[in-house]
Each structure stands twice: as structure tokens, then as C-alpha cells.
Chains A and B, each alone.
Chain A
């Protein structure tokens, strides 16, 4: 006993780090502070790599980017009070998109809890609505159990962020930890779907004439892209995806009709509107897809909803058949069951879909430098393993429309919360997670300035991220709405004092190149790719570029502007 304790003094901090190592954590995105001193001291003796962002928000988005491109649980760490509250946007981002995170926060010593002490914030209270679960550790002996539970909760079922709040004395105290026995009696993870219902779905599929698969982030989370592709190919089923579902089928796949919803393709929206069977997998009928008009969405269709979260079924749209389960397991069983039924007769349907595709392709002017052509050009040049991160706004929608994402987990974008500032730190997390793959960030001058400080993190670790900045000097998406729906009365969207972003990059020791003509585009992108380190390409684009087509807010998805 005494030999042992002489060999290694176990504190809350060391027990925590050992528990994290047991969960396979290789990197933490963390920012230190007063109450975390015991943990940062112990971190020096741990195998876990520590990445220091320049703002806690950067840390949590980086952990999110790490999680999205690996499927593993991302881990971030911040000190009490302002450190913790700076995480809130990132936690909400992950929660909305069902991204698994374990968020560690320092807390004031237990004796001071609730006394408005220095740097105290009730972070478990603040984050209750945006976490899957949270813990305030009151007994250091329970750390192994809590960590194990947190990772299990974050990564299973419908993934999401779990927060562990760690008072300083809990981290500093010497402790004999209790075993890591999980006690989650109130938590069930659906796995296989109901076989009877899967047979029902197979029958409905074989009898329908105008089927559409509507695939979302749940397909990516479940690793169900491959089986979805097999299913689509076997029964000639057309597929539309949500923003979060991008990558579940290769962009060039003949069965893919594109993204559905507000800035989706005309074909995808027409197909959903006209289909007689909608197979919804891992989606939540978000208002950016349905226009908030559940009652006018896919009204001719028998709707089948497959999801792992029982609360999503019937939340927006009441399906005729619902299957609770893991998308991969359900689709695998459905694929097998389809062997015993006739494939649907969909030749006429495909004729119609092809005609729509032909009449309403995504398009843009080729005679000037447009964001769309920049995005397509990057897609041509970087290869299919590249990871694409985006910020939020026009450039995000153009990327969703025009970038050829070929694989699951190669696309990191804030869908549900729509968090400007997400992209740059998410690219950091993605590059740390997958050092051998190229990471490209598409961003705008609005979003970019919301977490621009992370250029320092990129420089410090020489992360070879290629930043494609669509610089139009305005908040483009808001401006587009003011242009279309507020008679061009532009309010609060003009950046009258943008910095010189090339010089900003250079100030951080990052290569910067300005691109302001069509002729330079290809060579600048080629140069950026060749350059071994990080590069920022500052593309000067017109503020008049619009994201089209577009469903006006509150209109049914067939009524698209810019068809």
C-alpha cells in the first residue's frame, strides 16, 4: 500500500486522465485557468496530447470537428466561469447536429459552490438544455464511473455532448477511486429494428412507383452510407440528402438527386413533393427542409421514418410506418428482406426525375469569378480524400451545392445551429484528427472574423489547412434576404473596415494570396495545394452573388426562386 502510494500519488486529476486514456482519448482541446491548475500539472505526465486554442469556443469547435471527421468522441476542456460559458455556443452546435463530445469544465472548490465566488458559473445549469447529460463531480472516487458513463452516453444512441464539471478540490484531492461500474438504468440504446415492420417497409417499397430516400446525419452517425448505397442501387431508389447527410452517397452517384430543402436542388424538392413513398432515414424533418410546413410536405407519400431517437418520430411529421433503431442495422435487414420481394417499377419515375434534372440543373455564370466556380475548381484539384469544413452563410450553401463530397465524414459544417465561426476551429480539429488528409475550409469574411484568432493555433502547430475565403465585404446571406424580401433595404450587413486578410494571415506567419480575377483561380488553388503549410486564399467576390435556387421562407418546397 505505502509502496504503491509512494510510487504514484493518485489525485482526482490523475484518475481523470487515466480514465480518459482508457477511453482512447489521444487529444484534448483545452484552455487552462485557475481551477484547472491541478489538472494541467498532471497533464504533463499523461500520454494525452494537449492543443491550446486561442479561445475556448475554438477548443470546443475543434473537438467537434475532430468528432465529425473520425466518428470518435471529441474532448475539450475549459476553466470555470468565463472559460465554461465560452463553450456554450460550441456545445449547442454539437447538440443540434448530434455530435459526440465530452466537455470537461473546471469549477470552483466545492466549499465555495453557490456563493458567487470568483470565476464561478453554474455551467451544468446553463448547459442543461444543450447537453445529452451532465455531471457535477462531488466525490473524486466516482471519477472513473462518471468518465465511462459520459463517453458511453456521448457516443451511443443519438450521439451528443456530455459535460463533466470538476471542482478544483476534486481534482487536487488524493483519492482511491471506485471501480468504473456504469449505472445507467434510465438509458436505453435502440439497436435492431422491429423485423415485422421491416417486412412491412419492404412490401411498401416493392409496391410503390415513385420512391425517394431522404437521408440525413443519422446515416453518417450510424456508418450506414454503404448499406444505403446498396439499397438504393438494388431497388433503383433515388436519394435526397439533408445538409447533414452530405457524403452518405458519393456526390457523383447516379441515384443521388442532391440536397433537399431551402437551397436544395429543384429535382430533389420536386421528387420529395411528388413521391408516393418517402423513406426517411436519420432525419428530423427540420424546417430548413420542410419550410416549417409539415402538413404540406410530401403529401402524396407514404412516409416511413427510421430513427434511433424515439422523440424524433412523430415530432414534426407523423409517419405511416416508423422503425426505431440503428440506421445501419435497420437498412441491412431491409436490404436482406428486399431479396424476397419484387423490386419496384420505377422506370417512369426515373424518366421524370431525369427530365427535372435536365431542365433544372444547379448553374452559375462561367464568365466571371464566382464562388461556385471556385468551389468546383477546388473539388477538381484536391482529390476525394480531402476534408471540407465550412462556416455558415452563403459560402456554406454554395459548398453544399457544388462541392463533390465523395465520402462520409469528409464534411464538417454546422447544420442545425448554423454557427458562424465554426469553420476555422473545426478545420483545426479535423486536421489534428487526420494529419495525413488535406483539410480545406470554405469561409466568408463574416464567419471568418468570428474565430479568426485560431489562425494562431494553425500557425503554432503548422497545420496545413487551406483556407478559401469568399470575401464579399458583406454578410452575404442576410444581405441576400434583405435584397429579396426587404426591397434591398440593406441594414447592418456592410463591413466598412475589413482588414487586409492576406496581411492578417501573414502576421500569423501563414501564407496569404489574394485572388481577384478568374484567370488566377486555378493557379492560386494549385499553389495552395502544393504549399506544405497553411495557406489563405482571399477571393474577392461580388456581394451580388446569390444562393439559388431558394425556397422563400414559409413557401412549400416546390416554389423555388431561381429555378
Chain B
């Protein structure tokens, strides 16, 4: 099953290589990885989505924790979390299809961020399923280009 791990790591050059290299050589499959500096400039936070059974995930966590540059690893999978992905999607449009595409984007709460004569670009945030759903819906019109971030996730407050 898919697990979402949050890792606090040092914000130095080479840190990403160490983490990615660990996954590669121990044959763990990274589904997605996103990383950026935290409010503490010394630290970055990685959200890693990885595939594996509980035993594999425990190994992943332990092996990650062994890296000196990793400060902590939390498995968010069983927790109540807010998770988001961001996608930018360029879609082919014609004068006939433009309004349908705009409507579809609207239904998915997408935002048009760029528009040309024959295409438009939609920005969409949400969980992976929502983005998958949108892509499926607009594919018949012509999907020209797609970029997705990996998942980022944060624990919900306890109230």
C-alpha cells in the first residue's frame, strides 16, 4: 500500500542525493517526493510517498533515520491529514469546446492561469484522485501538457 512519510532533513547540498540514493539502492519505490525549506532555514521538509507493506515501510523509516542528515521521519498514513497536490494542465480548445472546458475546470475548482488562441492552462489543487478525475474529464478535448507536484501533507489539528 501507499504510505506518506514526512521527513525533516538538513537543508544542505547533497541531502536529496542521499535520500534518493537510499531508496534506489535498497529498491524502495518512490511514488512521489516533494521538498522545500521549512521556516527554519537549516531544515527542509520532504513528503515522500512510497509503496510497500508495513515491514518494508518500517525498514524505509529506519534506514532514513540512519542518515545523519535526517532529523525525523513520521508516517502520516494512518493519521488524519490534509494532503494536496498541485497540477498545471494545458488543454487544447477550439471555439466550440472552450466553454465546456472552462465549465469543467470550474466544477473541479480549477483556475485558468493562461490562455492562448488554441489552448488554455488550468491550475488545480487537491488530492491525487481529484486531479486524476479532472485529467480524465478533459482528456477528450486534448491534453497538451501536464505537470504535477508530488503530494504534500500536514497533520490535521486535534480538535
Contacts and interface: CB of A to CB of B under 8 A. Distances in A.
Given A133-B68, A153-B68, A187-B68, A311 B62 contact: yes
Given A184-B68, A186-B71, A310 B62 contact: yes
A161 to B, nearest CB: 13
A187 to B, nearest CB: 5
B55 interface: yes
A57 interface: no
Interface of B: 9-10, 14, 17-18, 21, 25, 55, 58-59, 62-63, 65-72
Interface in A289-318: 309-311, 313-315, 318
17 contacts: A125-B14, A128-B18, A129-B21, A132-B68, A133-B69, A184-B68, A185-B71, A186-B9, A186-B68, A310-B65, A310-B66, A311-B59, A311-B65, A314-B55, A314-B58, A315-B59, A318-B55
Contacts of A136: 14
A136 B12 CA distance: 11
B67 A311 contact: no
B72 to A, nearest CB: 8
B157 to A, nearest CB: 26
Given A186-B71, A311-B62, A313-B62, 8 more contacts: A128-B17, A129-B25, A136-B14, A184-B68, A186-B10, A186-B69, A309-B66, A311-B59
A124 interface: yes
Given A125-B17, A128-B21, A129-B25, A186 B67 contact: yes
Contacts of B18: 128
Interface string A166-196: 0000000000000000001111000000000
Contacts of A313: 62
A311 B63 contact: yes
A128 B71 CA distance: 18
Interface string A110-145: 000000000000001100110011001000000000
Contacts of A124: 14
A187 B9 CA distance: 12
Contacts, number: 40
Nearest to B10: A186
Contacts of A132: 68
A314 B69 CA distance: 23
A309 B67 CA distance: 12
Interface of A: 124-125, 128-129, 132-133, 136, 153, 184-187, 309-311, 313-315, 318
A184 B67 CA distance: 11
A138 B72 CA distance: 26
B19 to A, nearest CB: 10
A311 B55 contact: no
A224 B17 CA distance: 36
Nearest to B43: A185
A85 B66 CA distance: 25
Contacts of B66: 309-311
Nearest to A133: B68
A332 to B, nearest CB: 25
Nearest to B71: A186
Contacts of A125: 14, 17
Contacts of B55: 314, 318
Nearest to A185: B71
A187 B58 CA distance: 18
A132 B69 CA distance: 11
Contacts of A314: 55, 58-59
Contacts of B70: 186
Nearest to B24: A129
Contacts of A311: 59, 62-63, 65-66
A378 B62 CA distance: 44
A153 B55 CA distance: 27
Top 6 nearest A-B pairs (CB, nearest first) are: A311-B62, A186-B71, A133-B68, A310-B62, A311-B63, A187-B68
Contacts of B71: 185-186
Contacts of B9: 186
A310 B63 CA distance: 8
Nearest to A136: B14
Nearest to B68: A133
B42 to A, nearest CB: 9
Nearest to A132: B68
Contacts of B25: 129
A136 B70 CA distance: 18
A166 B18 CA distance: 20
Contacts of A129: 21, 25
A152 to B, nearest CB: 10
Nearest to B62: A311
A136 B63 CA distance: 22
B117 to A, nearest CB: 43
B94 to A, nearest CB: 48
A315 B63 CA distance: 10
A276 B60 CA distance: 30
A316 to B, nearest CB: 10
A104 B9 CA distance: 25
A479 to B, nearest CB: 32
A184 B10 CA distance: 10
A220 B58 CA distance: 27
Nearest to B8: A186
| Centre residue among B58, B59, B68 by max chain A CB count within 10 A | B68
